[in-house]
Structure 1
């Protein structure tokens, strides 16, 4: 009897909930999924969702699918199971064996080649790090730590060779779900549980072990719970949507999500909540379920792709569920807790027991285009329409004809209980007070700031605040006080008014929201981060959050956090809820919000009605995972690898990244920077960052992500790369340029040096010639004239003078001859010096035996100073021999080696060395040796030697 009553109750409940839909988001082939038949779902450690279909493997990041097929390495396009191991490797069970994913590439393991004829239905890694593979017809295969494969089949004691699921309990006991019961493997022993042990059906589809070591069993006959050998089972009579369960997932609270062949059941351990296509599910046949890290539940269906269920905190109502019109303009609640909904074109409707009861013009409403309604304490419903005011008392409508109430387009109504007055805000005709059967109008002529009125609010001090298209008016008694943009409003177009618990007033305008307290406004605008451009309403929930309606969705606003955001940019006071998160539509209607007696919020939009339970809104979904997915250089993708180098001729570098948050992927914001470029963190809602004309050098690109809850990713994704300098900045090019410049400079210098040397040589030759021809000839002529005069009869004194003149002239000629020889550039080689030395020796020492030893490059040119001083040292030494030595033999040696030389003049004389080493001649030789950086030595062993050398 109890089961029958429960069954009847569930039928009634099912009928009631047909009037609402829940926030399901569906992705199928048209969004990029490879096939609509989904066999398994899994979220990896990087946050990506993997989908195994009957035709291909898919990776989903919230925006796009990446598909993998047999041509990418899969053993089969039919993917039946997915598993991530302790090393974060993805294992793929196909219709023809097992693949593994490594670095975004599909690989085949040779050690698993015996499985390539098997259909892999499940994969599990045990506590020892060994792997188990469930097959459809070949039992279970075990891969141990030594890469040995062992098969367990019916002959070993497994219930059936068709195995669908593998789990492991805390004691390391393995459980196999088969087509003929549940098999337990413990200490090498196999034991199978069947209908004889309490199972409703032997065909097992899925298994789960919870934290309490309780085994949950999904079968074709319902759900079972096994603990300490006790079996408790649940089926359709207990509220399960369908007994044929195909998959199970467990949420963070330990509750179960069950995918069946007629929809989804949520089981909290006490009761079931069911969802099907009537509540928004894409398909009723659910093959796979997965609970992700953000608290969302995913369903893979047979033919409907994948559906994301964002929770039951949102419920939507449209004309498909009985709403008379999708343009919802106002919501109120009667004393029985029934919501009343105003629509523009469909009249009003009462929502009771999950069904809409519609009141329109056919039932007495003055007009079906309704702007506003308010339920009063005396159980009256005040209805403002395009054609005036209606008052509904629960049975009849009180309408006013044009003569009684000539003011149309009643945009808002307000009942003042104390004075039993009804105030109406009109579109273009100011405000109207209705009391005791008479109407009074207040317009701009009476002090109202503008005649187009959108909202009315009576505050605690008894004042009436009026929102208009020209600002705000406060009516206190009979006196108006007006506020406009000059007083601090963000915009003169004011749409809605709220008085919060503290007595502060909030205004929603066309340019932001404003808080009025103690005579001044504080504004919050899009520049402060408020989403949207137009703000249709503002309300406050029981948790203290403000809710703002926009043309982009509904914003939950945390005012306390907003105050902190002024000093802490890491906090996020705004959370936007859009159609992607479950709203029936993104564009709200003016003033269309209401908080009911249960604390639930109701929002009216251009496309239906949404009910929100703010207390059930999950704000601890976890931060997004951030990844750099691609790098494009001049539009072409490049592979990401360590020590990347990018050539200098690539002017544009684009980084593509993704912060994975399936709850609100389009609301993920990013911060990025390029280290070493001088740039600071930049925020964007785009998933790309582009840089152009980077200088050569090492860079690090970094990016992080924030979800719509304001949570930043715990890690920063980064990639390091080097931009090669252009060839003109490369070291080899700079070195080459320096070398060329040095060569040019050297060439120019050498050119001018050679040219100068040639000029000097020509000058030296010219001077030598001039000295020889002019001065030498003149001196010779003087000497000859002196000789001629001596032959004449002159006195003795004159004779002596003439003789001295002749001798001195000849001496000067001899000295001049040495000078001319030194100056003349034609005498600069070593050979010229040796020739000169021989001539001089033969002239001075004609009677001596002379031995010459000349070695070196005779054609090498000598510096003029070196040549001159060497010759003069030599000449002084020879003169020394001639004057002071009684030697018969003189040895002359000159050896040259580059800039080094050795010169020796040695005789075999026996004259005292003291006579040789004294006098002006020795001093002259020492002086000349210093001039050419040479060392000079005098040796008197076995004669006398003058030895000069220079060694570098």
Structure 2
């Protein structure tokens, strides 16, 4: 009795009915950075960002990260009820307490909208006249026109109710309002309300949507309605709607409708509803908002489950939660009824007929629950290869071959003949086993097989058998093996799967990539050619000729025709990686776990379940991603990215963060970037940040482009310009300062040594002058005195004459030496010393003449020795000429020395006694001395004789 009950419960469990499979929904909630799990509204701006309004805070989403905004950031209230992105890319925010607007990441309030601060703003709309409408929960509708006038419309003005949930404008310029008491329209200044009396299923309306064809869709608590060409048609649960309480409507580009209800989502297309709930993958059945984004993704804002992104119905997934006994799927096949069979490692085999899952395991007669491979033969038998043997199932009973009948276990591949005469079994470590006439024959390396581990078997058009082994590809024809290895072009000798393509070509997958057989060898395709991963577990081909390759990173879509063309453009992408972001149940596939069914669908087995891809429903988006520079960090600290951006010399480690926005596959963005004014050109990366260290001082511009999952590059690059300041020792002002400092130091040194030398020279001049005066002068004077003394003695006349000449010459030399000593002596270097000397000489030589002096000089001014000496000697020569050759009784002397030069004049009023003034040696001497001091000398004999020497710089 207990045994019967246990069998009944087992059958009840393994044949449990499954209402629906799991669809690919991606959910984001608090753990992903969303400020709250209750989502009231969703919108998208022109920059591509998704905006999510919750019960506590506003969120900006770029596909990877959320950025939160609260009251402290400028919001009037943290409870967000509505969002609207206008034509100027401003985001209007309707809160529980008024309206905000966001421009360039800053939140503002509009003074004219101050009366709305006590209202709950349920909807915002910008009409074709660029005027705004704000609906409220209890205070009607506010209208802000182009004249900045704010007008309120309530029930007394004709609104159906003061509680207005939504507003929009149709193609004819008519404004429609969804109220709690019906549908109100404003046309030509007149209000009219439609209610249940006009065909609405319920007067409590929630949302409105308009298709491009002009259909107005109405969400009510009693179902879905459509107004088109003034006709109302409604749809309810009886027509297939998941729930009559519709809270949100969104339309797609094909005029189909997405609905969010209190029990899940509905998709209305071609008059039929397709429904989705938490059982199919939604985060929560209560949906507050829906939004259809620019990439063609539909978003659902839920009550408590965050936001759910529906990735489309191209994938269906089956896991333990849907009835699989185990998530490690190893093989898939199809029987003659079109039912799929899925094997799992440890759970036996499971039949999927589209309505239910039925599992059969060892308790039902299967040789082992650890199943490696499945295959059906032409006799409608299911062939099962397991870890501990081989089973043949006729859908009623099993014919098992365990270790007693088949000593070669770990069956990894099965290939039956068309006539059923034999079955080939590929084993893990024991070669190929042929089952014929109830006998088993073995083929191993000793018989020519490349390796005894055989992962897959396929039959070519010519009847030859192709075997995927861990030692290469083996071809069995006419009982002879031909092997192909690395030397024949394979990327790796570890072969995991083989496929005969639609055109008869052989393809293999390996641990190093994939390869195509060309007749005499293999053409390898590896990551160097763009393949996203090198470990390739299986390969399938859809009815369009596209190949699908299972890897550790997901399933690769491979367009071989585009690959052969040799170019990759924006319209055709050679490789596209499908991951959990696109709806796969897991990214890690299993070897040989793929199958194309009779409907053209592709089945992929993974470590997380089985995914079914319908290639006919594949979406290839044409929308290019928007790319933005998000942050710039300098030495780990973020700085403002509002230009101009100046970066100090001490912080030259710069990190630039950027994001390409694509919600379909946010983690598969590729980037191309460059830094102008650096040595590098365009670089490519999958990372969303770039770091530059120790940039040289200068001006730079960083540019970046993004490429999304569909191969579309952003049309415009995001860019930011910044300047890296030079360290202070390289700044122009510092360089100028250093130059001046060096010049000052050099000048100081020069002046120091010059002054020092001048002092030394002055001391030397004083010493020389003293020595000449004391020694030489005294000696000459003594000679003169001795000659005078000797003359008083009785000496011959001739000697007396000589002594007289000696005395005269000595006194003349003493007089000349006196001039030299005076000029050399550093104590006589001022103009005052010169003028004193000139006056003394004048008084000695011309004591009986009237002399008038004009000295317009700074008497303390220092004179150069050469200038002082030559001016004095010219003066002395002129005075001597006056004494010798002029009968003048008046002499005028003028001297002026300043920074601009000098002028000296000596003029007498006498008449010319002889022509010696013009041609004598004295005039030539004066000219010579004037030339020494770069002066010009002029002689003037009109009304006396005048000598002028001057130098004006």
TM bucket, shorter chain: over 0.9
Report 1:528-927 matches (<5 A).
Answer: 528-563=529-564, 572-784=573-785, 803-898=804-899, 900-911=901-912, 915-927=916-928
2:568/2:574 contact within 8 Å kept = no
User: Residue 234 in 1 paired to residue 235 in 2?
Assistant: yes
1:295/1:621 contact within 8 Å kept = no
SS at match of 2:872: helix
Which 5+ residue runs of structure 2 have no aligned equivalent? 1-15
> Which residue in the other structure is 2:330 paired with?
329
> Which residue in the other structure is 2:307 paired with?
306
> Which residue in the other structure is 1:11 paired with?
none
Deviation at 1:793, TM superposition (A): 6.8
Aligned partners of 1:666 and 1:157: how far apart in 2? 51
Aligned partners of 2:71 and 2:892: how far apart in 1? 101
Aligned partners of 1:874 and 1:503: how far apart in 2? 124
Q: Compared with structure 1, are the counterparts of its residues 800 and 544 closer, same or farther at alpha carbon in structure 2 (3 Å cutoff)?
A: farther
> Which residue in the other structure is 2:84 paired with?
83
Report 1:91-130 matches (<5 A).
Answer: 91-130=92-131
SS at match of 1:18: coil
Describe the superposition over 1:179-232 as per-residue Cα deviations: whole angstroms up to 9, x where unpaired.
Answer: 122111111111111222222222211111222222112211211221221112
Aligned partners of 1:591 and 1:863: how far apart in 2? 108
> Which residue in the other structure is 1:30 paired with?
31
Aligned partners of 1:421 and 1:91: how far apart in 2? 72
Deviation at 1:570, TM superposition (A): 11
Deviation at 1:88, TM superposition (A): 0.9
> Which residue in the other structure is 1:420 paired with?
421
Aligned partners of 1:823 and 1:518: how far apart in 2? 112
Aligned partners of 1:51 and 1:703: how far apart in 2? 27
Report 1:133-148 matches (<5 A).
Answer: 133-148=134-149
Aligned partners of 2:23 and 2:56: how far apart in 1? 29
Describe the superposition over 1:449-502 as per-residue Cα deviations: whole angstroms up to 9, x where unpaired.
Answer: 211111112222322221122222222222222222343322222111122234
Aligned partners of 1:462 and 1:782: how far apart in 2? 146
Question: Which deviates more from structure 2 when the two are superposed, residues 682-691 or residues 300-309?
Answer: 682-691
Deviation at 1:306, TM superposition (A): 0.9
Deviation at 1:424, TM superposition (A): 0.8
Deviation at 1:346, TM superposition (A): 1.8
SS at match of 1:116: helix
Describe the superposition over 1:660-704 as per-residue Cα deviations: whole angstroms up to 9, x where unpaired.
Answer: 111111111222222223232232222222222222222222222
1:565/1:571 contact within 8 Å kept = no
Aligned partners of 1:56 and 1:132: how far apart in 2? 23
SS at match of 2:765: helix
> Which residue in the other structure is 1:934 paired with?
935
TM-score, length-normalised on structure 2?
0.94
Aligned partners of 1:248 and 1:180: how far apart in 2? 19
Aligned partners of 1:19 and 1:382: how far apart in 2? 28
> Which residue in the other structure is 2:157 paired with?
156
Question: Which deviates more from structure 2 when the two are superposed, residues 841-850 or residues 795-804?
Answer: 795-804
Deviation at 1:308, TM superposition (A): 0.4
Aligned partners of 1:568 and 1:39: how far apart in 2? 41
Deviation at 1:804, TM superposition (A): 4.5
Deviation at 1:530, TM superposition (A): 2.6
Deviation at 1:818, TM superposition (A): 2.2
Deviation at 1:142, TM superposition (A): 0.6
Aligned partners of 2:804 and 2:258: how far apart in 1? 142
Aligned partners of 2:944 and 2:319: how far apart in 1? 135
SS at match of 2:866: helix
User: Residue 497 in 1 paired to residue 482 in 2?
Assistant: no
SS at match of 2:368: coil
1:933/1:950 contact within 8 Å kept = yes
Aligned partners of 1:52 and 1:763: how far apart in 2? 97
> Which residue in the other structure is 2:259 paired with?
258
TM-score, length-normalised on structure 1?
0.94
Aligned partners of 2:624 and 2:350: how far apart in 1? 41
Deviation at 1:866, TM superposition (A): 0.6
Aligned partners of 1:710 and 1:520: how far apart in 2? 32
Q: Compared with structure 1, are the counterparts of its residues 783 and 565 closer, same or farther at alpha carbon in structure 2 (3 Å cutoff)?
A: farther
1:427/1:451 contact within 8 Å kept = yes
Deviation at 1:255, TM superposition (A): 0.8
2:379/2:420 contact within 8 Å kept = no
1:498/1:507 contact within 8 Å kept = yes
Aligned partners of 1:397 and 1:624: how far apart in 2? 55
SS at match of 1:733: helix
User: Residue 59 in 1 paired to residue 60 in 2?
Assistant: yes
Which 5+ residue runs of structure 1 have no aligned equivalent? 1-14
SS at match of 2:736: helix
Deviation at 1:641, TM superposition (A): 1.5
Q: Compared with structure 1, are the counterparts of its residues 164 and 578 closer, same or farther at alpha carbon in structure 2 (3 Å cutoff)?
A: same
Aligned partners of 2:564 and 2:818: how far apart in 1? 106
Aligned partners of 1:864 and 1:263: how far apart in 2? 112
Describe the superposition over 1:712-734 as per-residue Cα deviations: whole angstroms up to 9, x where unpaired.
Answer: 22221111122222111122221
> Which residue in the other structure is 1:407 paired with?
408
Deviation at 1:798, TM superposition (A): 6.0
Q: Compared with structure 1, are the counterparts of its residues 732 and 923 closer, same or farther at alpha carbon in structure 2 (3 Å cutoff)?
A: same
Deviation at 1:774, TM superposition (A): 4.3
Deviation at 1:405, TM superposition (A): 1.8
2:388/2:402 contact within 8 Å kept = no
Deviation at 1:624, TM superposition (A): 1.9
> Which residue in the other structure is 2:467 paired with?
466
Aligned partners of 2:559 and 2:376: how far apart in 1? 29
> Which residue in the other structure is 1:6 paired with?
none
> Which residue in the other structure is 2:296 paired with?
295
Describe the superposition over 1:837-862 as per-residue Cα deviations: whole angstroms up to 9, x where unpaired.
Answer: 12221221122222223232222221
Q: Compared with structure 1, are the counterparts of its residues 97 and 419 closer, same or farther at alpha carbon in structure 2 (3 Å cutoff)?
A: closer
> Which residue in the other structure is 2:218 paired with?
217
Deviation at 1:899, TM superposition (A): 5.3
Report 1:251-400 matches (<5 A).
Answer: 251-400=252-401
Deviation at 1:414, TM superposition (A): 0.7
Deviation at 1:168, TM superposition (A): 0.6
Q: How many residues align?
A: 938
Q: Compared with structure 1, are the counterparts of its residues 937 and 569 closer, same or farther at alpha carbon in structure 2 (3 Å cutoff)?
A: farther
Question: Which deviates more from structure 2 when the two are superposed, residues 893-902 or residues 229-238?
Answer: 893-902
SS at match of 2:919: coil
1:913/1:940 contact within 8 Å kept = no
Deviation at 1:746, TM superposition (A): 0.7
> Which residue in the other structure is 2:13 paired with?
none
Deviation at 1:621, TM superposition (A): 4.8
Deviation at 1:806, TM superposition (A): 4.5
2:652/2:724 contact within 8 Å kept = no
1:469/1:494 contact within 8 Å kept = yes
> Which residue in the other structure is 1:249 paired with?
250
SS at match of 1:736: helix
> Which residue in the other structure is 2:10 paired with?
none
Q: Compared with structure 1, are the counterparts of its residues 618 and 444 closer, same or farther at alpha carbon in structure 2 (3 Å cutoff)?
A: same
Describe the superposition over 1:8-28 as per-residue Cα deviations: whole angstroms up to 9, x where unpaired.
Answer: xxxxxxx98724110001112
SS at match of 1:133: strand
Aligned partners of 1:131 and 1:906: how far apart in 2? 103
Aligned partners of 2:525 and 2:226: how far apart in 1? 53
1:259/1:299 contact within 8 Å kept = yes
Aligned partners of 1:500 and 1:912: how far apart in 2? 136
Q: Compared with structure 1, are the counterparts of its residues 842 and 125 closer, same or farther at alpha carbon in structure 2 (3 Å cutoff)?
A: same
Q: Compared with structure 1, are the counterparts of its residues 560 and 779 closer, same or farther at alpha carbon in structure 2 (3 Å cutoff)?
A: farther
> Which residue in the other structure is 2:11 paired with?
none
